[in-house]
Amino acid sequence: MKLVTVGGSDAGISAALRALELDPTVEVTVIAEDAYPNFSICGIPYYLSGEVHAWTDLAHRSRDDLEALGIKLRLDTRVTGIDTQRHRVRCEASGAVDEVAWDRLVIATGAVPIAPPIAGLDVARGGDRVFFVHTIADARAIMARLEATSVRQALVIGAGYIGLELADGLTTRGVNVQQIEAQPQILATVDAPLATLLANELVANGVELSTNTLATSISVDDRSIRVTTVDARTGQVRPLTAEIAIVVTGVRPSTELAVAAGARLGTSGAIWVDRRMQTGVSNLFAAGDCVITHHQMLGESYLPLGTTAHKQGRIAGAQAVGHTGEEFMGVVGTQVVKVFGQVIARTGLTEAEAKRVGFTPLTVLASTDDHKRYYPGAETLSITITGDRLTHRLLGVAMLGPISGAAHKRIDVAALALHGAMTIDELLALDLAYTPPLGTPWDALQVAASQWLSALGDGAQRLASPSHDRIMP
C-alpha cells in the first residue's frame, strides 16, 4: 500500500510515522515544498534571540533520521494537483514535472501568513528588510539580516503569540523593539485584565508597545523602513521608522489543493474533516493547520497549533492504514507563551466566547501566591476563571505569573477539568499536590475556584481577591 503525505511538519510527518508504526509494510512518501521536512517552527523566536544557537538545532529529525525510519522524502517539490480518479499527485521540482502514485493520501499543507492591507507591503516584502516569519527559510533570512548589519531597531506588526515571542527574542538579542497591534489589547485569546498585565511586562522590558494601531503603508529606502500608522480610536497619524519589520498578523489555512481535489471547506475556510480526519473524498485525509479543529466547547472551529497538528496527523496516519478505531477527541484551546519573565497560559473559553455559545458566564479575577509566603521566593499568580452561573460548569481559565509559578502546568490541570466537563465545585475538591516551596494547601487554581463560588453567591460580577490565606484555611 502506498501512502503519500503532501506536507511535512507537523501533521505530515506524524501521519507518516504513525502509519509505519502500525504497518511497517506500507510504502510512505512525504512530499514537502521546502527543504525542511521536520523542524520546530515554534522554536524560531528562540533561534532569532540567540538562545538556540543554530537553525539546525530546531530539527525534530534530520533527513537521514526520517529515511532510516523508512520514509521516502521528496523535498523542494511542489504538488500542483491531485488526481483522485487515477490516484496520482502531480509534482514539480527544479522545472521537471512528474507524478507520484498513492493508495491513501494525507493533505498536510498547513497554513500561510495573512498579509494585512498595508500599502506597499507586497513590494517591501520582496527585499531583505520586511519579513513574514512562518518557515525555517524565513528564520534564516531574518537571521542573515540581523547578523549582517547589527540591527538595532525592529518593528513587530502584530501582538499575538508569535509577535510576543519575537518582541521578547529580539529584545533579548539587544534590538530595540517597537510593536503595534490593531486590536484594543494584545493576545486576544485572554480576557482583558491579564492582557493588560502582560502588556505592562513588555513595556517594563523596553518594548515600545502601541495597541489600537493600524499600519497603513510601508516603504523601504537604503537606510530604513518607514511605516505610517493610524490610531484606530482618534485617527491620529504617526510615522515609525526601523531597520527591519516583521509582520505576524495571523495565518489562514492553505486549502487550494484540497478544494481542487473535491474536499469541502468548513469554518474559517479550513478543510472540513471528521474526527477520523476524513475529508469526505474517498481515501483522502487531511490534518494540521489546514483543517478545522473540533473544539469540545465551541464545536467546529479553527485553532492552528503544533500540538493539535501532531495529534491530527497521528490519527490520519492510523486511519490511512486501516486502524479505524482512532479518532480525534478534540481540543479545549490550551495555549501558553513565555514573555520575558512572565508566563501566560489559557484554556477553555473567554467570557465573550462563553456568551456567544449560549452559556451564562461569570468571570472572576483572582490574585494569589504561587507557594507559601513564608518560604522564600513566593510570587503572585493572577488568574481569571470563568464558569456558568446556572450549572457551575467550568468554562475557562487563564493565568499569568513568573516562570517559577508553573502557570503552564497549572493550566494543564484546568484543561483536564474542562476535558472532563467538571464543575467549579469539583475543581475545588481535587486532590492536588502540596509542599510549601511549590504550592499552598489549596492550590492557586482552587483559590480562584473558591473565589468564583463566593462571587456567585454575592451576585458580584468581579472580585479582586485578598491573600488566599485569608480566604481558605
Give catalytic residues, as residue numbers. Answer: 42
Cell readout for 408 is 503552564
In the chain, what is the greatest distance between 2 CA atoms, to the nearest angstrom? 73
Residue 223 to residues 120, 150, 153, 177: CA-CA distances in angstroms?
17, 13, 12, 17
466 contact partners, CB below 8 Å, separation of at least 6: none
Helix ranges, 370-470 (H): 407-419, 424-429, 444-458
Whether the CB-CB separation of 61 and 18 falls below 8 Å is answered with no
Fill in the amino acid letter for 272. Answer: W
Beta strands in 139-288 (DSSP E): 153-157, 176-180, 208-210, 213-220, 225-231, 237-242, 244-247, 251-253, 284-286
Burial class (CB in 10 A: 0-12, 13-18, 19+), 141: middle
Residue 14 to residues 9, 27, 71, 211, 292: CA-CA distances in angstroms?
7, 15, 11, 38, 17
Reading phi first (left if > 0) and then psi (alpha if -120 to 50, else beta), residue 63 is in alpha
**CA-CA distance, 327 to 278, in Å (whole number)?**
10
Which value, to the nearest 10 degrees, does the dihedral of the CA atoms of residues 36, 38, 41, 42 take?
Answer: -160
Query: Which of 21, 27, 32 has its CA nearest to residue 2?
Result: 27
Burial class (CB in 10 A: 0-12, 13-18, 19+), 15: buried
Whether the CB-CB separation of 269 and 252 falls below 8 Å is answered with yes
Separation of first and last alpha carbons in the chain: 63
